[in-house]
């Protein structure tokens, strides 16, 4: 991220301070340009011509939403598309409900992605999970005695902005009253009410971790929290997918303290991590293996009573991940989904 004209100076300062460094991306713009190649639809394999969706490229928001609508129309007895609210810029906030149960009290699992706009691998993996659950008959067992609520794009405004204006945009797109482009928006993953405003967030609108003027100031986080609260009585497992770093993180994130059932949460995460074949994930408390992050969604989910809560940092290091990695990352992570369900389905009960 250092402009060429400043590289000599920066290298000298690092040398003087005796700070070792490695250059991970030699040319960031080149990496961005090569990240998402145009795929020839007619030559792509395993494509369903009824929708423009694959896991060989990153998709724009309208393509993701069209795919969700296709699934709801094609599998009406299995898939329900729920509009839980509207983003700041007026885009719908969709949750996919996958269920073959007729009971309103079937234990449920929550999965979401794209809190942070630039983390393109997140919605790609989440939509892959949806595809596997709905369109692959071999996974029918994963629908037995459990409902799925899945939200591929929590931050649609930011996600679209990262496609058309700024590839590395992170926050929402709500105005803050400041003119600078980087000072717009709120970090949606610092905007939740539980421990809002503590360490690991910022009151500076220009910060990447700006907490917002108040908890749930963003229509996206408020709609998200309202919907999850309405089904929290049956939610037993919560997964929120971010990137990058290859980590499965456990509460709490606001401070170096552990929840009452930390050992149980840790045991399940370790079992899931053992299933990965391609990537190695580090498992542990959020503060211990990453950093403090107050006002985050996973802490909030745990605070309202969801027993098994995980925040996942997907592979690989960096936000600009070539599209050729989508399938390897998705396929590898789906093995863990299988383990989570196999481990918990037999014991999920609604009290």
In tens, the pLDDT along 275-307 reads 999 999 999 999 999 999 999 999 999 999 999
Task: Give the pLDDT score at 351.
Answer: 41
Task: Give the pLDDT score at 227.
Answer: 98
Chain segment 90-123, per-residue pLDDT in tens: 999 999 999 998 888 899 999 999 999 999 999 9
Q: What share of the chain in percent tops pLDDT 70?
A: 94
Between 251 and 338, where is the model more confident? 251
- The helix or strand, by DSSP H or E, that contains position 242, with its residue range, turns out to be strand 235-243
Number of H helices, E strands in the chain: 10, 8
218-234: b (≥16 Cβ within 10 Å) or e: bbbbbbbbebbeeebeb
Whole-model pTM: value is 0.93
CA distance 284 to 120: 24
Rounded to the nearest integer, the mean pLDDT of the chain is 92
Between 206 and 43, where is the model more confident? 206
Reported confidence tier of residue 3, pLDDT bands at 50, 70, 90: confident
For residue 239, the cross-strand partners are: 111, 310
Segment among 45-59, 97-111, 131-145 with least mean pLDDT: 45-59
Q: What average pLDDT does this structure show over 248-256?
A: 96
Of residues 35, 160, 220, 313, which has the active-site annotation? 313
Task: Give the pLDDT score at 345.
Answer: 52
CA distance 171 to 173: 7
* Residue 307 is among the residues annotated as catalytic for this protein: no
Task: Give the pLDDT score at 69.
Answer: 97
């Amino acid at each position: 991220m250092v402009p060429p004209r400043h590289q000599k100076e920066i290298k000298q300062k690092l040398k003087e301070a005796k700070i070792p460094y490695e250059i991970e991306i030699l040319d960031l713009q080149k990496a961005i340009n090569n990240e998402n190649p145009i795929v020839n639809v007619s030559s792509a394999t395993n494509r369903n011509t009824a929708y423009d969706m694959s896991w060989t490229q990153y998709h724009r928001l309208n393509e993701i939403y069209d795919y969700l609508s296709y699934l709801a129309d094609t599998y009406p007895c299995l898939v329900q598309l729920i509009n839980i609210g509207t983003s700041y810029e007026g885009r719908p906030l969709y949750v996919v409900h996958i269920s073959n149960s007729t009971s309103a009290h079937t234990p449920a699992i929550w999965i979401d992605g794209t809190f942070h706009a630039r983390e393109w691998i997140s919605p790609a993996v989440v939509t892959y999970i949806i595809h596997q659950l709905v369109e692959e008959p071999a996974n029918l067992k994963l629908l037995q005695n459990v409902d799925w609520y899945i939200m591929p794009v929590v931050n649609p405004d930011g996600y679209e902005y990262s496609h058309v204006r700024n590839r590395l945009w992170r926050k929402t797109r709500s105005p803050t009253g400041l003119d600078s482009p980087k000072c717009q928006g709120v970090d949606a993953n610092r905007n939740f009410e539980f421990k809002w405003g503590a360490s690991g967030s910022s009151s500076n609108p220009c910060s990447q971790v700006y907490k917002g003027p108040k908890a749930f100031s963003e229509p996206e986080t408020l709609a998200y929290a309202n919907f999850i609260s309405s089904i929290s009585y049956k939610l037993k497992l919560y997964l929120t997918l971010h990137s990058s770093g290859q980590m499965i993180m456990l509460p709490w994130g606001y401070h170096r303290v552990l929840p009452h059932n930390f050992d149980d949460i840790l045991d399940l995460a370790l079992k899931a991590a053992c299933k990965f074949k391609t990537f190695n994930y580090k498992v542990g408390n959020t503060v211990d293996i990453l950093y403090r992050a107050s006002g985050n969604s996973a802490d909030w989910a745990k605070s309202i009573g969801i027993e098994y809560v995980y925040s996942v940092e997907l592979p690989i290091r960096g936000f600009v991940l070539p599209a050729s990695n989508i399938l390897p990352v998705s396929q590898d992570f789906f093995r863990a989904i299988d383990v989570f369900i196999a481990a918990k389905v037999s014991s999920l009960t609604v009290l």
